[in-house]
Amino acid sequence: MNISFAILTPTPIEWLAMTRVLSGVSEAEGQPLPTKYGRIGHHDVVCVQSGKGESNTAATLQYILNNWNPRWVLLVGIAGGFPDHHVKRGDVVVAKFVYSMEFGKLVKGRFVRRPDYDYSTDRTLLEHALILVDGDVNDWKTCVDTERPDGKSPEETKAHDGYVASGDKVVDDPDHKFFLSVRKTIPELHAVEMEATGAGASIKLQQSRSKVGFLMIRGISDEPGSEGQGRDGTAQRALWKRYASAIAASFVRSLLELVPMEATLAAQPEDAAEFVRDVTIPDGTIIQANETFTKIWEIRNIGKTHWRGRFLKRIGSPSGPALISSPEIVPIPDTAPGASVQIAVQMRAPAYPTSTTVLWKMVDAKGELYFPDRYRYGLLCTVHVVEKSSLFGKSD
Condensed to tens digits (0 to 9), the pLDDT of residues 152-168 reads 998 899 999 999 989 87
Is the pTM value of this prediction over 0.75?
no
Q: What DSSP assignment string belongs to 292-304?
A: EEEEEEEEEE-SS
The pLDDT confidence band at residue 145, using thresholds 50, 70 and 90, is confident
Quote the CA–CA distance of 190 and 121 in Å, as a whole number: 15
Q: What's the rounded Cα separation, in Å, for the pair 206 and 192?
A: 25
Q: What is the DSSP string of 247-306?
A: HHHHHHHHHHHHS-HHHHHHTS-SS-EEEEEESSS-TTEEEETT-EEEEEEEEEE-SSSP
- Mind listing the pLDDT tens digit for each residue in 88-115? 999 999 999 999 888 888 888 777 777 8
Q: What is the DSSP letter of 325?
A: B
Question: Which string of DSSP letters, residue by residue, matches 132-200?
Answer: HHHSS--HHHHT-SS--TT---GGG--EEEEEEEE-SS--S-TTSHHHHHHHTT-S---EEESSHHHHH
pLDDT band at residue 312 using 50, 70 and 90 as cut-offs: very high
pLDDT at 154: 87
Q: Which of 211, 214, 170 is nearest to 58 (CA)?
A: 214
Q: Is 22's pLDDT higher than 60?
A: yes
pLDDT at 27 over 60: yes
What does the pLDDT read at residue 234?
72
Question: What's residue 264's pLDDT?
Answer: 66
Between 71-80, 254-263, 387-396, the lowest mean confidence (pLDDT) is in: 387-396
Report the share of the chain in percent with pLDDT over 70. 92
Domains plus CATH for the chain? 5-266 (3.40.50.1580), 273-392 (2.60.40.10)
Q: pLDDT at position 288, please?
A: 93
pLDDT at 226: 59
**pLDDT at res. 321:** 77
The whole-number average pLDDT for the span 256-271 is 75
Q: Which residue has the higher pLDDT, 94 or 170?
A: 94
pLDDT at 395: 46
pLDDT reading at 130 higher than 60: yes
Report the pLDDT averaged over residues 327-338. 93
Average pLDDT over residues 37-61: 94
Reported as a pLDDT band with limits 50, 70 and 90, residue 326 is: very high
User: What's the pLDDT at 38?
Assistant: 95
Whether the predicted pLDDT of 45 surpasses 70: yes
Q: What is the pLDDT of residues 350-375, one digit of tens each?
A: 988 999 999 999 999 999 999 887 77
Question: Can you tell me the distance from the alpha carbon of 241 to that of 266, in angstroms, rounded to the nearest whole number?
Answer: 37
User: What is the overall mean pLDDT for the chain?
Assistant: 87
Q: How confident is the model at residue 396 (pLDDT cuts 50, 70, 90)?
A: very low
Write down the pLDDT at residue 105: 83
Pair 342, 330: CB distance under 8 Å: no
Instruction: Let me know if 225 is exposed, middle or buried by CB neighbors in 10 A (0-12, 13-18, 19+).
Output: buried
CA distance 296 to 275: 12
Highest-confidence range of 122-126, 228-232, 318-322, by mean pLDDT?
122-126
